[in-house]
Amino acid sequence: MKKLLITFGALIILTSCGYSSEEECRLKEMQKCNDAATCESQVWSYCDAEFPAEKTWDIYKKAPKWWVEIEVDSYELKIKPNGQRRETVKVCLKKNWSLGNGRCGSLYIGPYAAYPNGRNWVSQKDGRDWFHEYINADGDGLKENTKVVVTKKVEVGFFRYYVVGTLFLILKILAVGFVIGILAMFFSGEIKTEDEVGDEEIEEEDDLDELAGLLISGGDEQKAQLESMTKNEIKEWADAYGFNVSSSLSKAEMIEKFIKEAEEME
């Protein structure tokens, strides 16, 4: 008797659903439908209940622009679905090279779409089209500098929504900060043009020529300049003039040797 009850219970469990996935459930149940047009929504509801999904969050990812068709007639813009994909898309119009999303509208593309012939967004207050600033002067198309961005809604889990999303946000902030820093450096003069760099190089050459003349001129200015240098700098200038000044000497001895060699050169 106990074995019979166990076997009967197992049969109930197997026959109650018997599908390994929600996709298999929809496929098999749709095959049972005599009229797919009226049965499809019931199949989706049934399989959704049999395979309850984990909590998800919605994000929007880039989609092909040809998924939708944009028509403008008499200063009214209409967005029409181009095919049946069972997707919720967001269509945004913005100016080229502008920040932000611009003006956006959402549209469901599917067999039971609320707007199968397209949808327009006309304000009930003033009758103006939601996208009026992107419509050309003739009212029959978009302005030349208008960019169309189409994205589709995607359900993601906790990790993708919060962790990966936060990392992307941090990267965007760093990228914006980097660009702002570059612009600030440019306008503050820290980033120099080729002409400015060339002028500075000429000034440096003039300063070196003046220093070179001072180091062999003799007198107090020569000695004061040598005393302001390090031993390595004195050695470099001595080598440049071909003076026999050893770096093993003390700084005072090097200066004395340098002045003596300069006097002999004259």
pLDDT score, position 266: 60
**146 shares its domain with 75:** yes
226 and 198, same domain (yes or no):
yes
Please check whether residues 43 and 79 belong to one and the same domain.
no
Higher pLDDT, 203 or 105: 105
d(CA 187, CA 181): 10
The reply to whether 72 and 128 lie within a common domain is yes
Is residue 258 domain-resident? Answer: yes
Of 156, 179, 209, which residue constitutes the final position of a domain? Answer: 156
Q: Are residues 35 and 99 in the same domain?
A: no
Q: Is 69 helix (H, G, I), strand (E, B) or coil?
A: strand
Task: Give the range of the structural domain holding residue 36, as residue numbers without chain letter.
Answer: 2-50
Higher pLDDT, 9 or 44: 44
Q: How many domains does the chain fold into?
A: 3
d(CA 130, CA 134): 9
Would residue 189 count as lying in a domain? Answer: no
The reply to whether 67 and 137 lie within a common domain is: yes
217-232 per-position pLDDT tens digit: 666 777 777 788 888 8
Average pLDDT, whole number, for the chain?
A: 77
Q: In what order do the strands lie in the sheet with 57-62?
A: 57-62, 146-156, 87-95, 103-109
Q: Is 215 exposed, middle or buried (0-12, 13-18, 19+ CB in 10 A)?
A: buried
Please check whether residues 123 and 78 belong to one and the same domain: yes
The SS3 call for residue 70 is: strand
Same domain, 31 and 91: no
Which is more confident, 174 or 258? 174
**DSSP state at residue 66:** G
Percent of the chain past pLDDT 90, that is, above it, reads 13
